[in-house]
Structure 1
């Protein structure tokens, strides 16, 4: 006889969705650390009251944790990613829109280490031609084989 497991109507059932809409964010856990009485953290407190609930409904694959800090500590967002890395952003003295921007930055980030692009040099493999090949003015094919004219 098969075993029957009762289903609770309060817990929704999930079904796998194949196709292009099945995407999981690299962010696994988002932690909100704040002080409940500090006047400089009014932005994160107002974000936790209303927009956080809607954000949690939109991102069911991310775990949202709200923790109260000891008095005098700065408000911080901590994002833990699939690749084992984490990012920490201070949101002390930010308004609700600024906190929302930082949360979206953590949600849209991959968690990979940031690579500086300022001094990045691209090098071709040793003894290889450039991507465009060899060119000189003597090999100009646009002038019916006459080459370069002075």
Structure 2
């Protein structure tokens, strides 16, 4: 019996459509570490009961892992990003809404290394043009006749 080979045009293809709902967050994995018995971690336990499920539905591209810690360890959020970096935020002693704010910080972050703006040196623009424009002898006010005016 001869084999049937489907035509290339008969095979349905998936085509990516840029635009609405096609943005993927840089955050790949969100790990929530908590101690189920610690009194200072009531906020993260309350966050795990209700808002975490809504967060998982809103961000299907982020893997969410919940881990129980040994007694006496602090609760932390760990974010692992596409660029290979990770960020860790301690949420020990925070309320539920504060934990949600810290999760939003991890979701909205790019994972890039934080650059200090304190000792940042500014470089000249391409061409070395000054902020006030290019000086010309034709525009010199000290010349007799006041120079050329623009």
For the pair 1:18 / 2:17, whether they are aligned, the reply is yes
For the pair 1:52 / 2:46, whether they are aligned, the reply is no
Query: Considering only aligned residues, what root-mean-square deviation do their CA atoms show, in Å?
Result: 2.9
1:92 — aligned with what?
92
1:121 — aligned with what?
121
Give the CA deviation at 1:106.
Answer: 0.0
> Secondary structure of the residue that 1:54 maps to in structure 2?
helix
In 1: Cα distance, 2:59 partner to 2:127 partner: 49
In 2: Cα distance, 1:83 partner to 1:42 partner: 32
For the pair 1:76 / 2:83, whether they are aligned, the reply is no
**TM-score, normalised via structure 2 length:** 0.78
Give the CA deviation at 1:140.
Answer: 7.6
In 2: Cα distance, 1:80 partner to 1:113 partner: 13
Cα distance change, pair 17–55 in 1 and its aligned pair in 2 (3 A): farther
In 1: Cα distance, 2:126 partner to 2:109 partner: 34
> Secondary structure of the residue that 1:88 maps to in structure 2?
strand
What CA deviation, in whole Å up to 9, does each residue of 1:12-65 have, x standing for no partner?
xxx765121210000000000000000000000000000000000000000000
What CA deviation, in whole Å up to 9, does each residue of 1:47-104 have, x standing for no partner?
0000000000000000000000000000000000000000000000000011000000
Cα distance change, pair 88–125 in 1 and its aligned pair in 2 (3 A): same
In 1: Cα distance, 2:60 partner to 2:18 partner: 18
> Secondary structure of the residue that 2:42 maps to in structure 1?
helix
Moved over 3 A (4+): 145-148
In 1: Cα distance, 2:15 partner to 2:126 partner: 48
In 2: Cα distance, 1:16 partner to 1:41 partner: 45
**TM-score, normalised via structure 1 length:** 0.78
Give the CA deviation at 1:132.
Answer: 4.3
1:10 — aligned with what?
none
